[in-house]
Amino acid sequence: MEHELALNRLPFFKALVLPSEDGWQIRTLLSKHYNFSTGLIRQIKNHGVLLINNNASSMVAKVKPWDHIAIFLSYECKTNPELLPLTVIYEDDDLLIVNKEAGQIVHPRHQYISGTLANAIAGYLEKKGEQPASYLINRLDRGTSGLLLAAKNPLAAWILSNEINYMEKEYLALVAGVLERESGSIDLPIKDPENGMKRLISSVGKPARTDYYLLQQYKEAALLKISLKTGRTHQIRVHLSAIGHPIIGDDLYGEGNPFVQRPMLHAHFISFWHPRTGQICQGQAELPADFSQVIKMYQR
């Protein structure tokens, strides 16, 4: 029955055995040539269906040249699918790049069990007839807008998660004050709080580096392009505050602003190697309307 169900679904992985792989066990082929982790192979064994030429098989089976391998995996979706607004920048069989609105929480937690980005992605995929489970690779604070990357299957998630520190991620930030330099690097360790949410600069913190470039200087504010070299929680907000230029609208690391409803921080560009093809995959999101309006306030 499970085999029949598998044949009626799209596999999350397919491969054709090459002559050089003759006699290999499938688990060896998957780990050596396709970067499958031991955990993923175990997950397939326990919760998936492995077919060779449409016949059920096991991980220790040996393959022959031109055998067709197909793997089907039951995805555990812990998030309730909801039909919510979702802006998709890029999509293929393995991943999604979406543009998150400011104010939306990424994952269900505590009292926020619905209305999150994860709920929206699950609903979007379910409506398309795909498995509703997805794996969010990067994170954004609730008040930050911009690009988020989600994998559609465990293999893509594993590859992208291992690539996260090598991805090119750029942000736009509107900060308070006049900068003395047009560019610079902030290399200060960040310590997680013992209580509350606020992170601290501390010699016992984790290494963190943020590069910034001045795009436009206004009388009382500056528009910066930010490039992250590490991915600590609140890193951009902590670092910019530490050099005396907190993000406008950030009432946790700055003074806040009664006319600005959230931190003016936007994840506008991401570039990475595609987990299946190895080619460069990119996404870009223009500034949202509220960010543009705040910029106009400081242009006067």
Q: Which two tokens stand for residue 230?
A: 């590490």
CB 246 within 8 A of CB 255: yes
Residue 240 corresponds to which amino acid? L
Q: DSSP state, 12?
A: S
* Active site annotation includes 192: no
Q: Which two tokens stand for residue 116?
A: 């999150």
CB 186 within 8 A of CB 237: no
Identify the active-site residue in 141, 187, 211, 250: 141
Find the DSSP H helices in the chain. 2-7, 26-34, 38-47, 117-127, 154-163, 235-242, 289-299
Tell me how far CA of residue 15 lies from CA of 7, 26, 62, 239, 284, in angstroms: 16, 11, 14, 46, 31
The catalytic residue positions are 141
